[in-house]
């Protein structure tokens, strides 16, 4: 991307967050390059990138805005889990550590393929689900109704796929569509064209380890988006989401290949 485009995005970020004065142009450029962010995302989400650059860098003014504007939404994002205030605070601590403490902080992986608030919500809900799944005492209190949805199902994976495969495909398709053009192309090169990691690295003129990191981050985002979509739409407990996800996640790579080949 051009230096003029980067400077213009930096200025828009300054204008959107006037109280965040600590972010330098070099720090902003480094954040955008490391993610990396494509030109369309830079144009559309300059303010989100500016705030993420500052908060991931540990800048006090940016972290303060990040807490006030985004993490303050945590009780609303987690309302359906019906967690106590103490547990919400525990999730907040885990989330802040994951997002803001490195090296590197997870916030540095934000590529602006969607709004920053939506991306943080996804990480927050996944953090809460993982915390609940790790503690049976919590998970046991989170049944969504008197009759657990999956308890009545045959545990054979074929039946689960038959019943929920459509929602799974829809969730994955929507998640893929939300990716940046660059991320979709990376997946297309890897899953559809069958290029190996070294060939993709040569295409983008980066090291092989960078491609590995890019693909891992993309898969992590897709997996999180699908898990949270299943939880949102089915209204089931965290244990049931995990059972459903375990039955369906082996289909992810096949489904990605099919979705991208059809585009």
Question: Mind giving me the DSSP string for the chain?
Answer: --HHHHHHHHHHHHHH-TT-----HHHHHHHHHHTT--HHHHHH-HHHHHHHHHHHTT-HHHHHHHHHHTGGGHHHHTGGGT--HHHHHHHHHHHHHHHHSSSSPGGGG---SS-HHHHHHHHHHHHHHHHHHH-HHHHTT--SSSS-TGGGS---HHHHHHHHHHHHHHHHHHHHHTS-HHHHHHHIIIIIS---HHHHHHHHTS-HHHHHHHHHHHHHHHHHHHHHHHHHHH---HHHHHHHHHHHGGGHHHHHHHHHHT-
Question: Could you tell me if 125 and 170 lie in one domain?
Answer: no
Domain limits for position 179: 144-261
State yes or no: pLDDT of 145 exceeds 80. Answer: no
Of the spans 202-206, 208-212, 231-235, which averages the highest pLDDT?
A: 208-212
Among the residue ranges 67-71, 171-175, 227-231, the one predicted with the least confidence is: 227-231
Question: Could you tell me if 101 and 157 lie in one domain?
Answer: no
**Looking at the 3D structure of the chain, how many domains does it have?**
2
Question: Could you tell me if 36 and 117 lie in one domain?
Answer: yes
Tell me: the pLDDT tens digits for 39-98? 888 999 999 999 999 999 999 999 999 999 999 999 988 877 777 888 889 889 999 999
Last residue of a domain, one of 88, 105, 136: 136
Question: Could you tell me if 155 and 114 lie in one domain?
Answer: no
> Which pTM was predicted?
0.62
Question: Could you tell me if 76 and 185 lie in one domain?
Answer: no
**Mean pLDDT, the chain, as a whole number?**
80
Last residue of a domain, one of 111, 136, 161: 136
Question: Could you tell me if 164 and 112 lie in one domain?
Answer: no
Question: Could you tell me if 119 and 39 lie in one domain?
Answer: yes
Mean pLDDT of 112-116: 86
Mean pLDDT of 163-184: 81
């Amino acid at each position: 991307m051009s230096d003029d485009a980067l400077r213009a995005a930096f200025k828009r970020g300054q204008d959107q967050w006037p109280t965040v004065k600590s972010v330098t142009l070099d720090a902003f450029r480094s954040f955008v390059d490391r993610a990396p962010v494509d030109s369309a995302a830079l144009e559309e989400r300059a303010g989100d990138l500016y705030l993420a650059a500052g908060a991931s860098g540990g800048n006090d003014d940016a972290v303060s805005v990040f807490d006030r504007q985004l993490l303050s939404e945590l009780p609303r994002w987690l309302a359906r889990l019906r967690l106590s205030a103490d547990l919400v605070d525990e999730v907040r601590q885990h989330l802040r550590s994951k997002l803001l403490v490195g090296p590197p902080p997870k916030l540095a992986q934000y590529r602006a393929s969607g709004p920053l608030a939506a991306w943080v919500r996804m990480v927050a809900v996944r953090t809460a689900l993982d915390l609940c799944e790790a503690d049976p005492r919590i998970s046991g209190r989170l049944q969504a109704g008197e009759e657990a949805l999956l308890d009545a199902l045959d545990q054979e994976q074929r039946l689960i796929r038959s019943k929920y495969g459509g929602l799974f495909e829809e969730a994955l398709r929507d998640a893929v569509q939300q990716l940046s053009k660059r991320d979709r192309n990376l997946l297309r090169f890897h899953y559809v064209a069958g290029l190996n990691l070294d060939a993709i690295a040569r295409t983008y003129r980066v090291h092989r380890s960078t491609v590995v990191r890019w693909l891992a981050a993309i898969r992590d985002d897709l997996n999180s988006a699908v898990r949270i979509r299943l939880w949102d739409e089915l209204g089931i407990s965290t244990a049931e989401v995990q059972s459903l996800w375990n039955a369906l996640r082996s289909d992810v790579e096949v489904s990605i290949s099919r979705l991208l080949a059809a585009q």
